[in-house]
Structure 1
Amino acid sequence: MSTTKNLSPFNEDHSRRKFIHNLTKVAGTAAFLSLPLAGNAGVFFNMKQKDNTVGEIMDLFISQFPGGALSNTVDTLKAGDRDIKVTGIVTTMFATVEVIRKAINLGANFIIAHEPTFYNHLDETAWLADDDVYRYKADLLKQHNIAVWRNHDYIHRLNPDGVRMGVLNQLNWQSYYNPAASSVLMLPATSLKSLIEYLKQKLFISQVRYIGNPEQSCQKILLMPGAAGGTRQIQAMGKEKPDVLICGEIQEWETAEYVRDAQAEGQKLSLIVLGHIASEEPGSEFMATWLNKNVPGIKITHVLANNSLSFL
């Protein structure tokens, strides 16, 4: 099967961004901020330049959603309180110790993270009460009066999904987005190998895991950032019949085995596993740009959490 290489979406020269960059100078995702939100037609309420508190900024973001705050959500404060006056904001995937230290150096006392801070989905800490690592991290946050808010459920409930929009923007795939089938993209045909190299370049990944023939032509893409779970991934592949599933992470005994058996059956189906952090990090940049637009007068910085795992 012939493949088409060196098409425009895959040959642009983009220099690697700095490890930390101040989004007061970046407007790369601004175009998405004008897209309609569920029930609010894209209306944003800019906060006046004053001593904004953590709670006011949280409420501003939540105000975009019909019905207001969710009654059952993991998007709660993990450290600090609502009344803290914000001196600076850091957005990130994970509020790691290194990210916290960078926030301190930046003079920022509000961290908005997409994923848990204390090693479990609900950020339950009773089981960690006597753990040295937990105590060090919790004490570091308390010592510097830093608030940490997880923004996971809300940003995913934006219409369109804020994390997906951040990923599409970073990949320069905005024009392929179809609201009617938000996970499916029809790209110009390219080889699986070229697609992998493009993803690595754009998302700053050194290596990915994959299943498939590197020379396979890929055009219909199923994009599922994060950890959708094997059932959802397999059902989506069965329904959409993509050339390749691009996802954040998998259960190896589920999705990977389905793809391997599909190939044995004769289907043209490949798999690219980016890693959870790399696949959703652009969502935190999307959040930073939203803050930059809607909370003037506060320094907003996106800090990369980086991959927790290394490869030999």
Structure 2
Amino acid sequence: MALTFSDVMEHLNAGVQLPADTVDKLEPDAAGTEVQGIVTAFAASQYVVEQAVRLGANLVITHEGVFYTHRDHPDGLPQDSVCQQKSELIARSGISLYRFHDTIHRYTLDGIVEGLLQELEWGAYVERHLPEVSILTIPEMTVSEVAAYVKQKLNIPYVRAAGNLSAACSRVGVLVGFRGNGSTVIPMYEQESLDLVIAGEGFEWEVPEYIRDAVRQGKDRALIMLGHAESEAPGMKLLAERLSRRFPEMPVHFIPEQPVFQIV
């Protein structure tokens, strides 16, 4: 029997209870369509959609929204040439985009967190997973050494770091996406005796300013910000690997992007 979009979604959603206002959905909603190929990506960028077309894939599984907001634009797309050109490309391509955000974050081990830890080869160092942070004890390194290691493992050109970069650290909290804000992160330093937090992103006037004051007080606490996409893309890469194993007859591709920001 032919594999349909519905079959793939049922496989991905098995056992997960989603909130009533979930953002996860298929657009256009053509669940009975036969799958020709699958692409996974952090975001369905212009480049990713173009690559899906080139590869002959007609199902793009994207973690983040297509049109630059977490939720749909309730009154339709903005009257903006970028949005309109992208919308026209998607319409011409015959591709459906499956937003896969809430479900993967609700797996028994958050699938995005699991992908990042696997890419860093730190799974063996996990002490426990809390709802928004994973607590690790890694081999002792300086903050600078951790930053270099993370860049090499994730194949990214830069991270941003705050704190005493020559300080030794082994107790690490790892968070993905937009979880790096003060209410989540700051209590963890003392509750979990953390030397270092590695996060995707967060408000810059919260944890970074806390780190500034901690260092001024002589406390060796540090922060590494990977970037939202850089922290979550490994989870979508892992998803592609798992879909390839589950549907071995189906071409499945993870499409990475370069970091959106450049150092100038």
TM-score using structure 2 length: 0.93
In structure 2, what is the equivalent of residue 286 of structure 1? 238
Aligned-residue RMSD, C-alpha? 1.7
CA distance in 1, matches of 2:249, 2:83: 33
Which range is displaced more, 293-302 or 105-114? 293-302
Contact 1:103 1:109 in 2 (8 A): yes
Distance 1:180 1:210, change over 3 A: closer
Residues 1:165 and 2:114 are matched in the alignment: yes
Alpha-carbon contact 2:164-2:215 (below 8 Å) kept: no
Tell me the CA shift for residue 239 of structure 1.
2.3
Distance 1:69 1:264 in 2: 44
Q: Decide whether the 8 Å contact of 2:67 with 2:83 is kept in 1.
A: yes
Q: Is the Cα contact below 8 Å between 2:164 and 2:221 reproduced in 1? A: no
Structure 2 counterpart SS, 1:128? coil
Question: Which of 172, 178, 189 does residue 140 from structure 2 map onto?
Answer: 189
Identify if the C-alpha distance between structure 1 residues 267 and 226 changes in structure 2 by more than 3 Å, giving closer, same or farther: same
Structure 1 residues 123 and 309: CA distance shift in structure 2, 3 A: farther
- Structure 1 residue runs of 5 or longer lacking an equivalent are 1-49
| Percent identity of paired positions between Structure 1 and Structure 2 | 33
2:101 paired with 1:149: no
Tell me the residue number matched to 1:263. 215
Distance 1:75 1:175, change over 3 A: same
In the alignment, which residue of structure 1 is the partner of 2:183?
231
Residue 244 of structure 1, aligned match among 188, 196, 202: 196
Confirm or deny: 8 A CA contact 1:95 1:305 kept in the other structure: no
**Structure 1 position 58, deviation (Å):** 0.7
Looking at structure 2, the residues matched to 256 and 79 of structure 1 have their Cα atoms a distance apart, in angstroms, of 41
Distance 1:239 1:166 in 2: 25
How far apart are the structure 2 equivalents of 1:81 and 1:131?
26
Q: Deviations over 1:58-110 (max 9, x none)?
A: 12211232xx5542211112445222221000000010011000000000010
Q: Confirm or deny: 8 A CA contact 2:5 2:30 kept in the other structure.
A: yes
- Structure 2 unaligned regions, length at least 5: none
TM-score, length-normalised on structure 1? 0.79
Change (3 A) 1:223 1:69: closer
8 Å Cα contact 2:129/2:135 also seen in 1: no
Corresponding residue for residue 86 of structure 1 = 35
